[in-house]
Amino acid sequence: MEYNSADGSPGSPPRNNLETAEYDLLLPAWSQENLKTAAIHLRLSRPRSLAWAILLNALPPPSQDNLVKSIRAHRNYYEDLKSKLSMDPRTVIGDDPLSQNDESVWKQHFCDNELKALILQDVVRTFPDEVYFRDQHIQDMMVRILFFWARSHSNTGYRQGMHEILAPLLFELNMDRKYAPSILSGTLKCYLDSSYLEHDSYMLFSTVMKGLEKFYTTGDIVPSACGRLPTATTIHNPNEVVRYLEKVKEEYLLQLDSELAAHLTNCNITMELFGIRWLRLLFGREFPRTEIPQLWGFLFSAGPLLPHLHYLLVAMLLAVRNTYSTM
C-alpha cells in the first residue's frame, strides 16, 4: 500500500508506533487516546480529516458501531439546513419584493445575496498560489458553507478570516479522497464519498468554530441580517478575544518571561496587535500551508474548545523574542 507524507505526496511507510497504516482504521491506533498522542507527536495518518473529526468530538472513533450513522446524521443535518435557509421568495404568495418588513421573505432574500457577495470577496482571495482554490466550483462551495454557517449563527455572522479556517479543512478532506486507495473498508467508503465533500467540510468547519467563534464576536454588537456591523455610537463591552489575550499575558507569558511581558507593557504593545490575527486564523498565516495540517492536529488534540491555543501563543512570542534578542 502506498503511504503519503504530511503534504499528501507519496512517502515512506510509517516507522513510529504512534502511526498506523494509511487508510486503515485498525484499533487501537484509532482510539481517541491514541489519536491524541499521535496528533501531539505530529504523526496522524490519513484520512487525517477523519482523525480531526474524532479528536474534535464531531464523530465517534471507529470502535463504536455508530460511526457511519453519525456521518450520515451530519450530512442530513446540512441538507436540512440548506433547505431551511434556501427558500425561493417567488414561491411565497402575497410577499412584496419591495417590502421592508423584517418578516418579508423578499427582504431576507436580498440580505442573503448581499451576505454571499460579502463572503465571495474573501473567498476569491483564498490561498492565491493554490490552484485548487481558483476553481469556480470550489469557490461556490466555500461561499455556501460560510453563508449557511453565518445564517445559523446570527449573533456572530460572517467575519473576514473565516474563509481561511474553512480552506485548510476543505483541502484536507479533498486530499483524503484524492489519495485514497481503490480498496477501502465500508466505513471509509462512506466517509470518503466525494459527493459529500461539502457536507463534511461544513461539519468540520462548524466544529472548529465552536472553539474560535468567541474570538470573532464584537462585544455586544450584533451584525445585521446582511452580515454588516452597525455603526458604533456607544461604548461596547470588550471583545472576548481581547480578554483572552490579556489572560494569556498575565497567567502564562508573565510566568515564563517577565522581561518580555514588561517590555510589551512599557512599549504600549497590546497583545491584540498580533494575537487577534493569530487566533482568528488559527496561526494559518504564520506557517506555510503545507505545515498547517500537522499544526492543527496538535491544536485539535485536546478537543473542540482548543485549550492548547495559549501554548502556541506563548511559543510564538518567545520565538519572536529570540529573533529580536537585542531589545
Is the previous residue joined to 60 through a cis bond, with omega within 30 degrees of 0?
A: no
Residues 6+ apart with CB under 8 A from 241: 214, 215, 216, 217, 272, 275, 276, 279, 280
8 Å CB contact between 43 and 19: yes
Whole-model pTM? 0.86
Along the 327 residues of the chain, how does pLDDT read in single tens digits? Answer: 333 444 444 443 344 444 557 999 988 889 999 999 999 999 999 999 999 999 999 999 998 789 999 999 999 999 999 999 987 776 665 666 666 666 667 777 888 999 999 999 999 999 999 999 999 999 999 999 999 999 999 889 999 999 999 999 999 999 999 999 999 999 999 999 999 999 999 999 999 999 999 999 876 556 666 655 554 444 445 588 999 999 999 999 999 999 999 989 999 999 999 999 999 999 999 999 899 999 999 999 999 999 999 999 999 999 888 765 544
Domain boundaries, the chain: 3-46, 67-216, 240-323
8 Å CB contact between 272 and 241: yes
| 67-216 under CATH 1.10.8.270, yes or no | yes
State whether residue 101 is helix, strand or coil: coil
What's the confidence (pLDDT) of residue 46?
94
Task: Give the containing element (helix H, strand E) for 124.
Answer: none
Identity at 190, one-letter amino acid code: C
What's the confidence (pLDDT) of residue 17?
44
